[in-house]
Amino acid sequence: MITRLKVNGFKNLNQVDVRFGPFTCIAGTNAVGKSNLFDAIRFLSELTWKSLHDAARSVRSEGQKASDVRDIFYKSRDTYADLIEFEVDMIIPEEANDELGQKAKASIRTVRYILKLRCRQEDEDQYLEIDTEELLPITQTEAKRALYFENSGKWRKSVINGVRRSGAAFISTIDKEESNEGDIPKVIRTVRLHMDQEKGKPFDRISSKLPRTVLSTLTAEYPTALVTQQEMRLWIMLQLEPTALRRSDDFEKRKHARLEANGAHIPATVSRIQSENIDQDIYQQLANRLTELVEDIREIKIDKDDKRELLTIMVRFKDGNFFPARSLSDGTLRFLGLAVLEKDVNSGNVICLEEPENGIHPEKIGAILQLLQDIAVDPNQPEEKNNPLRQVILNTHSPLVVQQVPEDSLLMATGAEIYSQITQNKQKTVRFTPLQGTWRTKTPENENMSASLGNLLVYLGSPSSLEISHLSRPSRKNRVIDRQDVKQLLLPFSL
């Protein structure tokens, strides 16, 4: 779970500092940069299993050559930033398995990962190079003070635990001197990997020669760093595609199936979840959830075609007829995919979703927002199997979504200018500002800074759309549209 993310020099994100709760909604106009924040999260995740070059190529290139790694660096006029800098605070799981199935248990569950990258030019080619990589422990006291969103003592106790007695880094970066011929010392930038045991011998790697992050290479011998790696690998960017959602699955997929980012493997995933929860009727629970979107649905089942060895999702409507998933609308399939994700407590630690309103009738926006909030961890209850440490971050430019999300979850993405001491001029960036009076405005970096009601008005729509917003209330929390200052702002438009 990400609690804070700082980004500098990545695409159009310059001096960006965002705090996250279990559920966050980012609203902004097209091309303002809200998707670039998702790209930053995705890039960090992919760096835990891909090379620096491949991870950079996988990030959307905005119409430029995908092979040009410079595309991911902040650009002001014709000048690129020298560094991309990431700093992410997170709460990690208690344990994880490495790629060989060896279990690792973290010594502390609150950590800070820092990564700085440079672009190196060799002839006509460009390469990413690690300048700094660090993994630091965050003490329990510091971690608790940094949680500004509503949470209970029981929840904090269940997720903030462990200690790094020495306070030392798990991964650090140093400038190491080595003697050359002629006794002239040479300074070599070095990434140092430390054992969880305080007396363990560190292992050094020359940063300029690293094709990938040190974090991506680890096994259970380095338990806290390994658990961090596995946590970050489970950050997913959902891009639910109707073709993938409609697809049947082979029998052999059932044992280890998980819903993929494009929505593939719903039948096998549902079958696995049911086999893991024999005391529950997962099929009926999914059907009940789906009725919040389509009232005529009565039952969901898996059709097993033994001859072709295929699993297919079937849905029964109130007239008694069963239809395969390929007959359902795109919006219904997306809702089903999210409902499956909500039931699969082992899928996705951080879930990013763009424009959840796509394919959903305006009257049902509240239902999908409630589903997304139910996927996220409830910070008022202890972490457990039925309340896993999951986080949902979505972005939108829909007025109906902005109206109905909890007010403390909303961040407004707007263009801004900042003064750079390095270039001695103003540079464009994105600001993610909360609504006045919500928990994010109580953080040091956001004091006296909140989204203007004028900006918010752009997203609130017309009085006719406000009537739709009251048809289904997605949460017990105060929504944006329920705020007194918002009601007063909209009063002239309703007269």
What residues does each domain of the chain span? 1-170+213-234+350-495, 243-347
The pLDDT of residue 166 is 79
pLDDT at 116: 98
pLDDT of residue 76: 81
CB 209, CB 297: distance < 8 Å? no
Percent of the chain with pLDDT over 90: 66
DSSP state at residue 227: H
Say how far apart CA 314 and CA 301 lie, in whole Å: 5
Q: How high is the mean pLDDT of the chain?
A: 88
Question: Strand 322-324 vs strand 350-354: parallel, antiparallel, or unpaired?
Answer: unpaired
pLDDT at 264: 95
Mean pLDDT over residues 244-265, rounded?
A: 92
Fold (CATH) for 1-170+213-234+350-495: Rossmann fold (3.40.50)
User: Of the given ranges (45-54, 207-216, 347-356), which has the lowest mean pLDDT?
Assistant: 347-356
Q: Given the structure tokens 């263009």, which residue do they identify?
A: 415
What is the pTM (predicted TM-score) of this model?
0.91
For residue 274, what are its two tokens?
């049911």
Least confident of 29-38, 111-120, 278-287, 458-467: 458-467
Predicted local confidence at residue 213, as pLDDT: 97
Q: What is residue 461's predicted lDDT score, i.e. its pLDDT?
A: 59
Residue 479's closest CA among 395, 375, 334, 365?
365
Tokens of 256: 């280890």
The pLDDT of residue 421: 56
